[in-house]
Amino acid sequence: MQATTAGRVEPGPQGLPTVGRSVRKGEVLSWVVPSTAPLERSVQSAQLAELRSSRALAEKRLARLRELSDTVPKKEIEAAEGELASLAARAGAVSAGLTGREALVAPVAGVIAAAHVVAGQVVDARELIYEIVDPGRLSVEALSFDPELGANVGGATLAIGNERVPLRFLGAARTLREQALPLSFAARGAVLAKLAVGQPVKVYVQTLSKVEGIAVPAASLMKNPSNQTIVWVKTAPEKFEPRIVSVLPLDGVSVAVTSGLKAGDRVATQGASLINQVR
C-alpha cells in the first residue's frame, strides 16, 4: 500500500496496524493528512472565503428572484439556481482540500507482512507504507539455468518439509537474470502458512519429455574406485553386487537408470554408503 499524497500518518479506526495482524478487504488501516505549504494553505483559505461570500450573495439573489417569480422569467431563476449550486460545489471542493484526509484502504484480505510507518510520521507520495500478504495464496519463483526448460514444463511441486504442494505454472520470463531463466508458479493451500515471503524453497519440475529407464532414489548412487557410477544390487542374502549404471536426473529426489539394470533387480536404497565401504 502506498500514499498518493505527501502528509502525516494518523491511526485508523482500530489503531495503527502491526505486523501479523489480519485485515479485511476494504478496511481503513490509517489516514494520511495532506501536508501543504503555509502560503498555499493561505491562498486556499482566501479562495474558500471568497467562494462562501459569493454563495451567500447568490442565495440572497435567488431568494429575491423566487419572490418575484410572477414577473421574472423562469430562465433567470434557473440560472441563479445553477450559479448557487456551482458555488456550493466549488466551496465544498476547496474545503475538502483544506480539511480532507486520504484513507489507506486494504486492497485485499490477508496479514500485515510489513509496516514501515509509525503514528505521526510524515511520508512522501508513492512511499511504501504497508505490505499485505494472503498466506493461502503465494507466488513462487524458480530459477532455471536451462533456457529451454521454460517451454518444457509439464508440472511442478513445492517441497515444504515432508509435504509436497502442487504448483500451477504461470510462465517463463524472456530475459535472463544472473544467467538464469525465472519461472513463475502459483500455489494455494493451508500448508503455505508455514512459509514467509522471500524464503528460499525447493521446486521440483516435471518436464513434458519422457525418459525410458528405472526410477531409483538418488541416494542409491555410489562411486567405485574407478570413479564410475554404481548401484548395489542384492543377489542373495547378505550378498550385494555392484552394477555400473548410466543415469539421468528425474525429479530432484530420484534418478532414471537408463542402462545397467534389468527388471527384477533389487537395488539397495538405504545404507548404500555403508555397503560401499565394504572391501
* 155 beta partners: 206
Would you say 72 and 64 are in contact if contact means Cβ atoms under 8 Å apart? no
Residue 132 in domain = no
Residue 85 shares a structural domain with residue 182? no
Residue 2 in domain = no
pLDDT at 231: 92
Residue 165 shares a structural domain with residue 235? no
Residue 15 shares a structural domain with residue 48? yes
pLDDT at 184: 92
Residue 113 in domain = yes
Residue 88 in domain = yes
pLDDT at 39: 67
Residue 242 shares a structural domain with residue 171? no
Residue 161 in domain = yes
Residue 197 shares a structural domain with residue 226? no
Would you say 248 and 258 are in contact if contact means Cβ atoms under 8 Å apart? yes
Quote the CA–CA distance of 155 and 207 in Å, as a whole number: 7
Would you say 105 and 26 are in contact if contact means Cβ atoms under 8 Å apart? yes
Single residue among 91, 123, 155 that ends a domain in this structure: 123
Residue 1 in domain = no
Single residue among 81, 97, 123 that ends a domain in this structure: 123
Grid coordinates representing 160 are 515444504
Main-chain dihedrals φ then ψ at residue 151, nearest 5 degrees:
-100, 10
Q: Across the 279 residues of the chain, what is the mean pLDDT of every consecutive 10-residue run?
A: 86 87 90 75 76 86 82 83 86 72 87 87 88 84 86 85 85 87 87 82 83 86 89 89 88 82 87 81
Residue 164 shares a structural domain with residue 196? yes
Residue 222 shares a structural domain with residue 256? yes
Residue 121: partners with Cβ closer than 8 Å, 6 or more residues away: 8, 9
Nearest CA to 29 out of 50, 15, 46 is that of 15
Sign of CA dihedral 1, 14, 198, 148: negative
Q: What is the CATH number of the domain that holds 264?
A: 2.40.420.20
Would you say 47 and 94 are in contact if contact means Cβ atoms under 8 Å apart? yes
Residue 98 in domain = yes
Quote the CA–CA distance of 122 and 92 in Å, as a whole number: 26
Residue 201 in domain = yes
Residue 115 shares a structural domain with residue 159? no
Where would I find the H helices in the chain?
A: 38-67, 74-99, 272-276
pTM for the model stands at: 0.55
Domain span at residue 142 reads 137-207
Domain count, the chain: 3
| Structure confidence by residue, pLDDT tens digits, 247-257 | 988 776 788 89
Residue 19 CA, chain-centre distance (Å), reads 16
Helices (H) and strands (E) in the chain, counts: 3, 18
Quote the CA–CA distance of 13 and 78 in Å, as a whole number: 43
Residue 101 shares a structural domain with residue 18? yes
Single residue among 123, 154, 188 that ends a domain in this structure: 123
Residue 243: partners with Cβ closer than 8 Å, 6 or more residues away: 230, 231, 232, 233, 260, 261, 265
Residue 98 shares a structural domain with residue 160? no
Residue 114 shares a structural domain with residue 158? no
- Label the pairing between strands 163-172 and 153-160: antiparallel
